[in-house]
Amino acid sequence: MDYKKELNNLRTAQKNAAVADLQTTRDASLSNLQAEEAKIKPEYAAQRSTANANNRVAARNFQEYLANTGRANSGIGAQYEMSRQNSLQNGLNAINAAEAQSVADIARRRSDVQNAYNTGLASANAQVEANYIQNLLNQAQQQWEREFAQKQFNESVRQYNLNRQDALKKGFSVGGGSSRSGRTSSKKTSKTAQVTNAAVNAVNNFLGNSKTQKTTQNTKQNTANDYAVKQVRSPSGFSSKEAQNYYSKNLMGLKTKSQLDNAIAAGLRSGAIDKNDANNIYKMYGIN
């Protein structure tokens, strides 16, 4: 599996989801503002119409009052008319100012909505990119650990086979000749045995048999190395190459029996291993 491609697809999906959420929020806010803006002109037009109507009613009432009191041609009417016109204009100016303020408020809020969208989009993209880089680093580290564990596994098998073959060759070469040569061969055999034992002990210590190795990496490697030794000593092996590959990819370095049970169950379901393979794997882990 190309984890870089998978992570890139995940990054794209996360960005698209963030954009969709932000656009939904922005569009809803803009729609509300548009509906609110549509009410402004009719509302203030009605207020101006009411002000003009009230002014005309007031003028007619005052003219009737002057007529009834016999002062229709007096200067009072002219003064009142000027006052009425000023009052009307002031009222209309106030209405116009309020309308302009409402329109400006809508424009400001619309700008705030767009700015919030832009800021949210930048923040979401930055977070997605940060997650993408962190995921890349994590996957690279895990891949390195897997490759390192595989190299150690291969090296442990190679060293064990070399030491075993060397011990067998030196063992078969001992025997025959004079007493002196016998003593010499005996010494060589003793040295060979010491070298072989030391090599085996070194391999065993490398494979994780030492109880003093407590780190997590050594714990994972112990499982893989124990399997390597048992595979060399057990000629039966797995039932198929597929079973061998499944073990290498899914059953190396497991730390708990629960993990082992789950991995074996998955292998049985997929057909990668059979029941005999499962039993052998349990035995390799020391579980009967």
- Nearest to 252, CA basis, from 280, 230, 229, 226: 226
Task: Kindly indicate the confidence band of residue 141, based on its pLDDT and cuts at 50, 70 and 90.
Answer: confident
How far is it, in rounded angstroms, from Cα 219 to Cα 260? Answer: 14
Q: Which structural domain range is residue 126 located in? A: 3-143
- Nearest to 149, CA basis, from 208, 103, 234: 208
The average pLDDT across 168-172 equals 75
24: how many CB neighbours lie within 10 A of its CB? 10
Instruction: Report yes or no: 185 and 171 within 8 Å, Cβ to Cβ.
Output: no
70-81 pLDDT per residue, tens: 776 666 767 777
Q: Are residues 30 and 134 in the same domain?
A: yes
Task: Kindly indicate the confidence band of residue 173, based on its pLDDT and cuts at 50, 70 and 90.
Answer: low
Domain finish residue from 143, 161, 176: 143
- Does residue 246 sit within a domain? yes
Number of domains forming the structure of the chain? 2
211-245 pLDDT per residue, tens: 444 444 444 444 444 444 344 333 346 888 888 88
Domain finish residue from 101, 117, 143: 143
Count Cβ neighbours within 10 Å for each residue of 74-91 and write b for 16 or more, e otherwise: eeebeebeeeeeeebeeb
Domain finish residue from 127, 143, 159: 143
